[in-house]
Amino acid sequence: MKSEVESSQATTFRYTVAEADTAAALGSGEVPVLATPRALALAEQATVAAVAGEIEAGATTVGTRVELEHLAPSMVGAELEIAAVLERVAGRRLEFAVRARDGGRLVARGMVTRVVVDTAAFLRDAGASAAG
């Protein structure tokens, strides 16, 4: 399994906040602004994209740790720029810096740790845990 991904892999993408992304819609609050759980999902999506094509066939990455500060609200229709940079590689562990900007304003930042795993073994173990 290829686990030695080179650091400084990065990705940036744009995302427009929809009604379904709001705290009110997701049940994480009562206001119609980008929900923190959705901001986190976008950050994780960026980390996956940052190493896409760098992970050996039959392997994938799974999230193991997240630290996210949601600093400011973003309204429905806001166009976000989501970015992830692979800052540290320690064996199978990949540590990413993530950020989200709404225009020039930083709205979220944090760190996401992912681990490279064998997909089949991971799913087998998950199934065994669910059955047992």
Which CATH number characterizes residue 31's domain? 3.10.129.10
Answer yes or no: is 1 within a domain: no
Q: State which residues form the domain around 52.
A: 10-131
pLDDT for res 4 = 58
Contacts of 120 (CB under 8 A, 6+ apart): 58
Confidence label for 7 from pLDDT (cuts 50, 70 and 90) = confident
pLDDT for res 28 = 97
Answer yes or no: is 4 within a domain: no
Say how many domains are in the chain. Answer: 1
Report the Cα 15 to chain-centroid distance in Å: 13
Q: Phi and psi dihedrals of 114, rounded to 5?
A: -125, 155
Residue range 105-129: mean pLDDT, rounded: 94
Does residue 1 register a pLDDT over 90? no
Q: Determine the Cα–Cα distance for residues 15 and 28; give it in Å rounded to an integer.
A: 20
Q: Would you say 86 and 4 are in contact if contact means Cβ atoms under 8 Å apart?
A: no
Total-model pTM:
0.91
| Sequence-ordered strand ranges (E) for 6-130 | 10-16, 59-70, 79-90, 93-102, 105-118
Answer yes or no: is 3 within a domain: no
Of 27, 23, 36, 32, the closest CA to residue 108 belongs to: 36
